[in-house]
Chain A
Amino acid sequence: MSSFDKLDIKNKKEQKKLNVDFAELKSGGFIKQNKKDLFTVRLRVPGGRMPIERLNKIIKIAQKYGKANFVHFTTRQSLEIISININDFNKLKSELKKIGQQTASCGPRVRVATGCGGCEYNARGIIDAQKLALQSDRKFFGIPTIHGKFKISFAGCHSDCTRAKGADIGFIGEIEPGWSERKCIGCGLCAKACLEGAIISDKKTGKPVYDASKCIFCGDCIKICPTSAMHEKKVGCGLYVGGKWGRHPRIADLITHLFPAKDIIPVIKKTIDWYIKNGKKRERIGNTIDRLGIKKYKNEINYKRSY
């Protein structure tokens, strides 16, 4: 018998003794640790934004119940209180509830939505990743998918710091550039800023020659233009589906550029529904897409090329 099997039997005995279901606990953000009776409590922090006042209160709760002298920041922006004794569960939960702090979801459910700083204060942000993460989290958090976890991420720009391309569904802020010849001084900075080769500076006039087929709509040309000759024509999102990390990473498929922000909530809903209907046990939506084909997904969510 391996040590893992022993641990499993031990877990089952503990479950019986304490009359708790570990899977059920996990759904509420309580994760069993490697020592008896100790759990990690993962907090729901959509977009990684934590009001300072609430953080102060969480510190006090963590000091009171956490047996570790640290907290852990997860890769997906949640905050975990470490080594909570199983007997303190109810007290901890009610204290968290009092300060308006919920616990996160684990297991085959929609996880907490992540987002970068977005356009609110970040100089590079194109979309309001914070607001969108909060909105979608309010709408979809904790929904059981039956098959596997489902992660939603928002990135303000193509730097993709929140790894939208590694999420089950991800959105990246995009701008389609427009050009006003009257304002252009032919400085060539837009061509310098473009890393995709979508803008080439005309040899004679210095003015931009734009190739939309190469453009990824990052907006760098607009941000650098000294005269605002390059300007915002349309704002939207790159829509990515099927990304995952883990033992077999998969980069998400680009469904479309410049997806309209107003359709974000409907497309997430359609995608989760599609996954519940078509997925197999323990498979992520990326694997479902590999198995059934991206065409089927696009057709069934009523995908339209939006530019």
Chain B
Amino acid sequence: MEKQIKIAKKLDLTGVICPTNFVKTKLALEDLKKGQILEIILDDGEPIRNVPRSIKEDGHKIIKVENIKNKFKILIKK
């Protein structure tokens, strides 16, 4: 099932602070078509607390969150 998700773009936001990480996510999403998937990697702490909330407020859908060693892989559907 998981392998069927087609990722259109990947963005590693490790070490990128708030709100730059959200702005970069926003810009990346702008390049995608509606329904396409963006994968981002976020740090623990402030980024994981803030970025998903802002993405939701902007009307995008988070479809998966995976915890990988103090980092988070997040799949966002535009």
Contact = CB atoms under 8 A, between A and B. Distances in A.
Given A185-B64, A189-B65, A225-B56, 17 more contacts: A187-B62, A188-B65, A189-B48, A189-B52, A189-B62, A192-B44, A192-B49, A193-B49, A220-B49, A220-B53, A223-B53, A223-B57, A224-B52, A224-B53, A226-B61, A226-B62, A226-B63
A173 B63 CA distance: 29
Contact of B67 (A188, A193, A224): A188
Interface in B21-58: 44, 48-49, 52-53, 56-57
8 contacts: A188-B67, A189-B48, A192-B49, A220-B49, A220-B53, A224-B53, A226-B52, A226-B62
Interface of A: 123, 185, 187-189, 192-193, 220, 223-226
Contacts of A188: 65, 67
A193 B44 CA distance: 11
Contacts of B52: 189, 224, 226
Size category of the binding interface on chain B: 10 to 19
B64 A192 contact: no
Nearest to A226: B62
A-B pairs, top 9 by smallest CB distance, nearest first, are A226-B62, A187-B65, A224-B53, A192-B48, A223-B53, A224-B52, A189-B52, A193-B49, A189-B65
Contacts of B65: 187-189, 226
Nearest to A186: B65
A36 to B, nearest CB: 51
A226 B57 contact: no
A187 B72 CA distance: 10
B64 A224 contact: no
Contact of B49 (A123, A185, A224, A226): A224
Contacts of B44: 192
A225 B48 CA distance: 12
Nearest to A124: B53
B68 to A, nearest CB: 12
Contact of B57 (A123, A185, A192, A225): A123
B29 to A, nearest CB: 15
A185 B77 CA distance: 15
Contacts of A192: 44, 48-49
Contacts of A223: 53, 56-57
Contacts of A226: 52, 56, 61-63, 65
Contacts of A185: 63-64
A224 B57 CA distance: 9
Nearest to B72: A192
A219 B56 CA distance: 15
Contacts of A189: 48, 52, 62, 65
B49 A187 contact: no
A225 B44 CA distance: 17
B62 A193 contact: no
Contacts of B64: 185, 187
Contacts of B62: 187, 189, 226
Nearest to B54: A123
Contacts of A193: 49, 53
A184 B23 CA distance: 27
